[in-house]
Copies of this chain bind each other. A is one copy, B any other.
Amino acid sequence: MTRKATVYDVAERAGVSIATVSRVLRQPDAVRPVTRERVLDSVAALGYVPSGSARGLAERRTGVLGLYFPGFDASEDAPVFDMVADDQAEAPPFTVEQASADTGAPHPTMLFLDEVLRGAELEAWKQGFVLMIGVGRGDPARETVRDIAGRVDGLMVLAQSVPDEVLARLAQRIPVVVLSGPARGDSYDHVTVSNAEAMSELTRLVLAQADPGGLAFLAGPEDSPDGAQRWEGFAAAIAEAGIATDDVMVLRGDFTRASGHRAAEELIARGAPAALVAANDQMALGAIDAFRSAGIRVPDDVRVTGFDGIEAAALSRPTLTTVRQPMIDLGRAAVQLLARRLEQPDAEPMTVRLPLQILVRESSQRPE
């Protein structure tokens, strides 16, 4: 790899000025076909690729959008092993493991982010942007967000992944879109979903399938904003149905499968409910396990619903009724908002609210 070719090299080889080279690449029609060919020849011969940095500097825009979200990555603490230095020859080409069901299963939140990312990338591409991503790892010394902010035309951040004051500062420089957080009194553009409304509707569906007397709710941890919204939606729906909160058995879990299992056991001890609305899928699946172990049939004896739409919910038996975030669309909408603001920097801050998908499956349907 010799020194990288620059416009100057191309220009010299083609016998034109650098301006012409630049034109060939930016506005081909402004240059005479013969000249253009000559320049393109040189470009190919030299393997010339324009420097993004130089372009960005000259154009005052980079054509890059940034996506930043918090990390939930277990492998973060993975050994810093050096795959490159290790002697290849002696390593076996495979390992054999007695594997359980969840060997290597990624964190659910990562799956969520994967899809958001995919949507963002798709839309970015459609709009002619490239995507840069960063994951927060709570390392204050390494200003990853700021680093990214300096390289992009616009930034998408997952709610709460960046401290308010930092975000405010970045927003001073480039447009910022906040993803899936509550629309607070800030001046950013937002993309959110209607957690509470969807939970209300789901609850209504459950009420239509179960005796209102035996309703149970399995909440998430107290400090979870999502969990809180889901509770609110549930509470609203039962209130509307004339059911008092006190008439509902409310348990609290921590979003894990195990906590769902425990909660269901407790419910069974108190006398099995007619329906269990869980604040997420994991807990719902854990509860279903517990019910099964106790000989209680789902959905025949008890209706169960989850929230999130993880893949295991679709593969469980019975398949789990749940609510899914429109993750792809979250990503796409965020990019659209950025693109819009780059065109109209002074438009009013805007919040796009995307519909959630309530996926009605077996677990919530009373048999005919």
Contacts and interface: CB of A to CB of B under 8 A. Distances in A.
Interface string A110-128: 1100110111011001101
7 contacts: A62-B151, A75-B119, A84-B333, A88-B353, A93-B197, A95-B357, A121-B135
B92 A354 contact: no
Interface of A: 1, 4-5, 44, 47-57, 62-64, 73, 75-76, 78, 80, 82-84, 88, 91-106, 110-111, 114-115, 117-119, 121-122, 125-126, 128, 130-135, 137, 142, 144, 146-152, 169-173, 175, 193-194, 197-198, 201, 205, 309, 311-312, 314-317, 319, 323-324, 328-329, 332-333, 336-337, 340, 345, 350-361
A355 B146 contact: no
Q: Which of A49, A80, A314 has the most CB of B within 10 A?
A: A49
A101 B315 contact: yes
Contacts of A104: 309, 324, 357
B137 A355 contact: no
A48 to B, nearest CB: 8
A229 B194 CA distance: 48
Contact of A64 (B73, B151, B354): B151
A50 B150 CA distance: 6
B135 A133 contact: no
Counted per complex, copies of this chain come to: 2
B315 A312 contact: yes
A131 B132 contact: yes
A359 to B, nearest CB: 4
A111 B115 CA distance: 9
A251 B159 CA distance: 50
Contacts of A88: 351-353
Contacts of A359: 97, 99, 103
A134 B144 contact: no
Q: Which 3 A-B pairs have the closest CB atoms?
A: A52-B151, A53-B56, A93-B194
Nearest to A133: B131
B133 A94 contact: no
B126 A134 contact: no
B93 A353 contact: yes
A133 B133 CA distance: 8
Contact of A316 (B64, B128, B315): B315
Contacts of A354: 83
Contacts of A105: 311, 314
Contacts of A76: 122
A252 B10 CA distance: 51
Given A83-B332, A84-B336, A118-B110, A101 B62 contact: no
